[in-house]
Structure 1
């Protein structure tokens, strides 16, 4: 049985966690460090916004869309971003914000109660995207592999809420979160073909730890997992899934984490205030903010979308 998360005490960041943008996002998510622009992008899914922060100047930009936007990726060839909209992947350029996003495909038009959620690119440039039930209840969500030409394959299904994925250091194992069940799943992954198989449980979060949301892998291969309802980001050994430590935050709904900065040593963390009542918000007024903490380790640059 894969281990459950626990609470070691010998792990600390090299700096303090700071709220660098108190945006009050309803559902902050989708953090992306743009190596090309040296800026940080993130989304507020339910407010249908993309945010951009220039850490060098403090400049903040935001754009509002006609539908939910949940994840972002740079493009390997071409300007702008690949973005996950409610019905699937699209292309959009923040330098030309008045031009409407162009859908690449809409993989599940028959699942009208679904929306797309988290998404990440593999090293080859394929975009792995999860869909979910808008009400977070029905197991109608699925995992898709989207090629740069917009062709897609449904590779697994039966999820109420999907998050991730990320890959272990050798690229031969993909992790993916079945959020409602509190599970991090592992699949054997073939980088050459994109085929996955041998689904298995990698980590089960404990009842007091919330549920797994976004995650990333650092340059040493360790896996960092956000805890929705758990108020932290935990760090795990890639071979055993053993928890090595955690970064605590002053908010409960921790949603995505991404390494950024010139040397990829700053951990950016998004959060949400979804469903929190007035009493809860009084206890965590920074809910929905963007946080950052300097780390004593480095991350890996996000893989771009495209061949």
Structure 2
């Protein structure tokens, strides 16, 4: 059951208003990339290693899945163009779920020299830039990097030296970007110029305790609080944006919690993805819902996901 704070948090009290529910026991190998489409009023998410894009209409329960020819790790709506922007193994691409017979079209491929890498988590800022992290496929070598991708496909390598990357999300009206150095269990913060996308002042914002796993996907709600998924920790935690203090903890019946996003008609449902990556038979017996899609209702509201300007 959710563990709620005993004292009102600085950024306003809130409640988790029901138990966590598994709404799609998909048995994803590596579920990730939850995106609530305001335009379509549905949730998209992915299974990276199975190369699936999933779509759920939470009102009707209708489910649909597509299989691509390579790993797909993140999704974004397009501000003006048709279909979706998606993160494939080698970088950002465009793909249209209404024309699934057409293959994705790469926008750029920033890492031709890093054959052992793949792209992972990604999110757009309020100006429509797409921030993407790459990682070592084996999760060991420090070959991963953080990229900023512009509408026309121009890209800039903003930071590097990571084994696994996740995020980002923004706080303080876009003036601070948070980004996860997952293997080292830390959330980094960067001072951000919202007008140019320039970064400076890299620092550690939060270090997770070993028993809490490592930080995976995350999102920011309408009051500026940060919600972080714990890979290996079996929970999502909510944090004060100024102090990083934990305000609440939502426990799940699975250990590998991977991404979260607010959705639903009023953006108050937290959708949470999970994985069963490398879990043995004994672990799967303890976690039969591993790889499922979960939902929990809150009285907090999320923010509509920013669209890619391309």
State the partner residue of 2:53.
Answer: 50
Give the Cα separation in 2 of the matches to 1:211 and 1:43.
20
**Does 2:153 match 1:150?**
yes
Q: Is the 8 A contact 1:8 1:243 kept in 2?
A: no
State the partner residue of 1:165.
Answer: 168
Unmatched segments (≥5 aa) in structure 1? 1-6
State the partner residue of 1:175.
Answer: 178
State the partner residue of 2:16.
Answer: 13
State the partner residue of 1:110.
Answer: 113
**Does 2:252 match 1:249?**
yes
State the partner residue of 1:4.
Answer: none
State the partner residue of 1:3.
Answer: none
State the partner residue of 1:203.
Answer: 206
Match of 1:277 among 239, 263, 280: 280
2:210 counterpart SS class:
coil
Q: How many residues align?
A: 301
**Does 2:104 match 1:101?**
yes
Give the Cα separation in 2 of the matches to 1:252 and 1:127.
29
1:133: Cα distance to partner? Answer: 0.1
Q: CA RMSD in A?
A: 1.0
State the partner residue of 1:184.
Answer: 187
1:9: Cα distance to partner? Answer: 4.9
**Does 2:69 match 1:66?**
yes
Higher mean alpha-carbon deviation, 50-59 vs 122-131, is at 50-59
Q: Is the 8 A contact 2:4 2:15 kept in 1?
A: no
TM-score, normalization: structure 2?
0.96
**Does 2:140 match 1:137?**
yes
State the partner residue of 2:292.
Answer: 289
1:169: Cα distance to partner? Answer: 3.5
TM-score, normalization: structure 1?
0.97
Give the Cα separation in 1 of the matches to 2:191 and 2:122.
18
State the partner residue of 2:9.
Answer: none
**Does 2:25 match 1:22?**
yes
**Does 2:100 match 1:86?**
no
2:285 counterpart SS class:
helix
1:123 counterpart SS class:
coil
Unmatched segments (≥5 aa) in structure 2? 7-13
1:98: Cα distance to partner? Answer: 0.4
Give the Cα separation in 1 of the matches to 2:18 and 2:100.
36
Give the Cα separation in 1 of the matches to 2:117 and 2:73.
13
**Does 2:75 match 1:39?**
no
Give the Cα separation in 2 of the matches to 1:70 and 1:78.
20
**What's the CA shift string for 1:93-114, capped at 9, x where partnerless?**
0000000000000000000000
Q: Is the 8 A contact 1:12 1:246 kept in 2?
A: no
1:208 counterpart SS class:
helix
Give the Cα separation in 2 of the matches to 1:210 and 1:12.
24
